[in-house]
Structure 1
Amino acid sequence: MKKTVRYSAAIALAAAASLTLSSCGFGGGSTDGGDAEGKTTLDLLVPSYSDNTQGLWEDVVDGFEAENPDITVKLEVQSWDNLESVIATKVQGGEAPDIYNGGPFAGFAADDLLYPVEDVVSADTLSDFQDSFLANAEVDGTAYALPLIASARALFVNNALLEQAGVAQPPTTWDELLDAATKISALGNGIAGYGMPLGSEEAQAEAAVWLWGGGGTFGDADAITVDDPSNLPGAEQIKKMIDAGATQADPGSTNRSPLMDIFIQGKIGMQVGLPPTVGQIADNNPDLDYSIVPIPTQDGSAFTLGVMDQLMAFKNDGDKQDAITKFFDYYYSADVYVPWVQTEGFLPVTKSGADALSGEEALAPFLEVLPDAQFYPSTNPQWQATDGAFKALFGQIQTKPAQDVLTEIQAQVDAS
């Protein structure tokens, strides 16, 4: 593979892939948490990240049950499209899983449905998490979820297209990015300078790249502030890129995954990508000449934005607490956790996991930023509504004034 990596600092984002696997389904334990053989039963609900997900969790369950013959784990795998409706239905019906892999959790914590993580994990395991990731799972100073995976994003650059367009170096600022992308688009033949996915798949992520790259913010645990004036420079730069013809056609309805496929085919000059993008290139176009560089910002300064998914434990049966602790300690042991996260193509959230993968060249640019990652305000109870508002409305920025779009998103969040 022809690949160079230039990465002194990067932006980390997380976004998980949505591939559907069939559900195994919970079997439903008895009210005392045990089955007919006197075993404790743990119900585990997880989303599918890839075609590997179900098999990886089955391996974890098999290994755990072999070491803990008095505990049975019943696995249910759902697609990301269905996950939130499934968990909502289960919680409302009084059938919450004992362990859940998901995103937003602040609402569950506010309703006193979750164990504080210090009650369901050993001190050694707890101390192994990257501090910034564990802090992002706190509500009012108490962590109610364990970090599961991280993802990092950086700018993937087609070196050959930059050279053809007469661009000497990958851009570091917005002005340089606009100039380079415009020149690449001018090459014609269906080539786009910058791949800008503003469609519903992950509009909030592309928005964060630009709004936060200009010094903006989505808010914090106390308040969502999408219409903050600091977000306007980034929003206006998005329109500037589109109006200049520096992007693909109709970015407002373009989703990230299919757009990245076009980059991999060699038809896009630059696009923000994830660690799994490296493997996708290796599988589908190993001769692609590309670089991984920091995402350009307004003034060229670096910032790091992180997203993670979590594992959390519902307080269903009090006598399951010890079994949950054993499961978490087993799963996060390096010899179990590292192969799991590596196969899924994401980044570890534990210090031991980062150490184990530190020699992986392809992951090195992304691992570097994990300890200092910043995050979406996911502990704000309105974050889920904010995420949905971006996905529903932000694509309109290609045809509406930037401030109007930000105001509409804020209004939808405030009404939630």
Structure 2
Amino acid sequence: MQRRYLSLAAMGIASAMTLTLTGCGASGDGGDVTLKLIAADYGDRQSNSSQHYWDQLTRAFEKKNPGIKVDVEVYSWTDVDKKVEDLVKAGKAPDLAQIGAYADYAAKGQLYSTDKLLSIPVEADFTPSLADAGEYERVQYGMPFGASTRRLFYNKKLFAEAGITNPPQTWNDIARDAQLLKSHGVKIPFAVPLGPEETQAETLLWMLSGGGGYTDSIGKYTIDSAENVKTFEWLQKDLVAKGLTGVEPAKLNRADAFQGFADGEVGMLNGHPTLMKQAEAKGIDYGTVELPGTNGKAKATMGVADWMMAFKAGGHRTETGKFLDFVYSKKNVLKFSGDYGLLPVTASATEAMLADDKYTKLHGFLKQLGNAEFYPANKTSWPLVSKTLKAKMGAAVGPKGNPYGVLTDIQNTADMADNATQ
């Protein structure tokens, strides 16, 4: 079934309906069942592990729904996707998984669509751009869970010492400011982490700032577009070749770039909300601005979403739907987002965050979410394309790199992967 789109007026009417109203075909009061959820850990230490969030949430849910138990196992991002993959292959799919990608499971018919699970008000509450990103062949299977957007971070102290009075708005500003920072002894004027950790993210950010992207409006890969080639040729010639990235992009991972910023060694870089806490913990006075583009602000920023999905194998559709309605309540979405420095994935929690001054530093990121562009995670070819990007993009902008050749090579890989899945 197509996902149901509701206008704001319709959403208001729907909100007046009982939240126990279920999606298409769901019925019954549930049974004495135990739901299994495999989830990713958003904490950076044991004391703030996501396990604490889920333990508190499930206790509250079970108190209201005595016939349903929820067993949650939390794994690191290094392990969680593989854990779910292994369980599915072994015929032991969990009822729910909160991981990084959903399309492969949707393509194999292993997931419930959201309209089979959620009450109408809850389904309609997802931020539209995120709901769209959760669709496979025009049907939503991926429910957004945690989201973020990217902005350019800059070190105010280093800027002041270099005589820079305003943050960059264009590529020319970036090049000029980076040169000033270098002249004043800044180790890494502009960090460009194209090491294997998260190359696909930094690549997309630069594509968007240059007017390009991974795909066109109908989902066809455009990796070797003229805009993308021009972007990486500029990056190679005007930043890397002039020593303004400090470290060769292929040798710099995102985690190291973020740590360098927190240590006061990086003047500028593209970052997401969690960098704020990391920088504040080290006493860094920073600012953020929208991504600079060729002649002004970039056309869009990158959005990233992680996904909740429900497997059919256990047959617990009704109970799973009840639990998900609880998970996606305004209160729970806002608490999770606030606890882990992420952006709410629902309209109701977004409004609450924007109205609360304690989240002021997240507001700039949040206001970008509606127009953000996401990875083409609805394409089953994307995992291979992402892996290829991680292996090749860093070297493309290195001293001996060939941006055009590398982008063309990746485009050919993407096209072959797309054709193989059709």
**TM-score band w.r.t. shorter chain:** 0.7 to 0.9
Q: Quote the residue 1:278 is aligned against.
A: 276
| Aligned-partner residue type, residue 270 of structure 2 | V
In the alignment, structure 1 residue 289 sits paired with structure 2 residue 289: no
Q: Quote the residue 2:36 is aligned against.
A: 43
User: What's the secondary structure of 1:312's corresponding residue?
Assistant: strand
> Out of 179, 183, 206, which is 2:202 matched to?
206
User: What's the secondary structure of 2:401's corresponding residue?
Assistant: coil
The farther-off stretch of 346-355 and 154-163 is 154-163
Q: Quote the residue 1:389 is aligned against.
A: 388
**8 Å CA contact 1:102, 1:311 repeated in 2:** yes
**8 Å CA contact 1:196, 1:248 repeated in 2:** no
Structure 2 unaligned residues grouped into runs of 5+? 1-30, 418-422
Note the 1:113-262 alignment, pairs <5 A. Answer: 113-188=110-185, 191-219=187-215, 222-240=219-237, 241-262=239-260
Give, in angstroms, the shift of residue 348 of structure 1: 0.4
Give, in angstroms, the shift of residue 98 of structure 1: 0.8
Give, in angstroms, the shift of residue 224 of structure 1: 2.6
Q: Quote the residue 1:324 is aligned against.
A: 320
> 1:295-328: CA deviations, max 9, x gaps?
111121332321211111111133x111011110
**8 Å CA contact 2:191, 2:247 repeated in 1:** no
| Aligned-partner residue type, residue 341 of structure 1 | S
Note the 1:3-14 alignment, pairs <5 A. Answer: none
**8 Å CA contact 1:48, 1:80 repeated in 2:** yes
User: What's the secondary structure of 1:207's corresponding residue?
Assistant: helix
CA–CA distance in structure 1, aligned partners of residues 371 and 415 of structure 2: 30
User: What's the secondary structure of 1:363's corresponding residue?
Assistant: helix
| Aligned-partner residue type, residue 239 of structure 1 | Q
Structure 1 unaligned residues grouped into runs of 5+? 1-37
CA–CA distance in structure 1, aligned partners of residues 409 and 340 of structure 2: 36
> Out of 84, 87, 107, which is 2:84 matched to?
87
**8 Å CA contact 1:211, 1:233 repeated in 2:** no
| Aligned-partner residue type, residue 202 of structure 1 | E
Kindly tell me the number of residue pairs found equivalent between the two proteins: 375
In the alignment, structure 1 residue 111 sits paired with structure 2 residue 104: no
**8 Å CA contact 1:162, 1:168 repeated in 2:** yes
| Aligned-partner residue type, residue 165 of structure 1 | A
User: What's the secondary structure of 1:216's corresponding residue?
Assistant: coil
| Aligned-partner residue type, residue 301 of structure 1 | K
Give, in angstroms, the shift of residue 403 of structure 1: 1.1
Give, in angstroms, the shift of residue 411 of structure 1: 3.8
**8 Å CA contact 1:224, 1:382 repeated in 2:** no
CA–CA distance in structure 1, aligned partners of residues 228 and 66 of structure 2: 54
CA–CA distance in structure 1, aligned partners of residues 306 and 161 of structure 2: 40
**8 Å CA contact 2:181, 2:189 repeated in 1:** yes
User: What's the secondary structure of 1:404's corresponding residue?
Assistant: helix
Q: Quote the residue 1:64 is aligned against.
A: 61
Give, in angstroms, the shift of residue 363 of structure 1: 0.8
CA–CA distance in structure 1, aligned partners of residues 285 and 83 of structure 2: 43
**8 Å CA contact 2:94, 2:314 repeated in 1:** no
| Aligned-partner residue type, residue 112 of structure 2 | Y
**8 Å CA contact 2:62, 2:69 repeated in 1:** yes
Q: Quote the residue 1:410 is aligned against.
A: 411
Which TM-score applies when normalising by structure 1?
0.86
User: What's the secondary structure of 1:81's corresponding residue?
Assistant: coil
| Aligned-partner residue type, residue 180 of structure 1 | D
CA–CA distance in structure 2, aligned partners of residues 414 and 90 of structure 1: 30
In the alignment, structure 1 residue 365 sits paired with structure 2 residue 358: no
Q: Quote the residue 1:263 is aligned against.
A: 261
Give, in angstroms, the shift of residue 186 of structure 1: 1.8
**Change beyond 3 A, Cα 1:223–1:104:** farther
Give, in angstroms, the shift of residue 282 of structure 1: 2.2
Give, in angstroms, the shift of residue 251 of structure 1: 2.1
Give, in angstroms, the shift of residue 412 of structure 1: 3.8
Q: Quote the residue 1:27 is aligned against.
A: none
In the alignment, structure 1 residue 336 sits paired with structure 2 residue 337: no
The farther-off stretch of 172-181 and 158-167 is 158-167
**8 Å CA contact 1:224, 1:383 repeated in 2:** no
**Change beyond 3 A, Cα 1:94–1:223:** farther
Give, in angstroms, the shift of residue 415 of structure 1: 5.2
**8 Å CA contact 1:99, 1:313 repeated in 2:** yes
Which TM-score applies when normalising by structure 2?
0.85
| Aligned-partner residue type, residue 237 of structure 1 | W
> Out of 292, 298, 302, which is 2:294 matched to?
298
CA–CA distance in structure 1, aligned partners of residues 208 and 118 of structure 2: 34
Give, in angstroms, the shift of residue 284 of structure 1: 2.0
Give, in angstroms, the shift of residue 266 of structure 1: 1.6
CA–CA distance in structure 2, aligned partners of residues 144 and 258 of structure 1: 34
**8 Å CA contact 1:155, 1:271 repeated in 2:** yes
Q: Quote the residue 1:9 is aligned against.
A: none
Give, in angstroms, the shift of residue 122 of structure 1: 0.4
**8 Å CA contact 1:185, 1:247 repeated in 2:** no
**8 Å CA contact 1:223, 1:380 repeated in 2:** no
Q: Which has the higher contact order (CA 8 A, sep 6+)?
A: 1
Give, in angstroms, the shift of residue 222 of structure 1: 4.3
The farther-off stretch of 246-255 and 79-88 is 79-88
Identical counterparts, % of pairs: 33
CA–CA distance in structure 1, aligned partners of residues 108 and 281 of structure 2: 45
**8 Å CA contact 1:218, 1:226 repeated in 2:** yes
CA–CA distance in structure 2, aligned partners of residues 76 and 290 of structure 1: 36
CA–CA distance in structure 2, aligned partners of residues 158 and 203 of structure 1: 23
CA RMSD of aligned residues (A): 1.7
**8 Å CA contact 1:148, 1:349 repeated in 2:** yes
User: What's the secondary structure of 2:160's corresponding residue?
Assistant: helix
In the alignment, structure 1 residue 352 sits paired with structure 2 residue 353: no
| Aligned-partner residue type, residue 339 of structure 1 | K
**8 Å CA contact 2:146, 2:344 repeated in 1:** yes
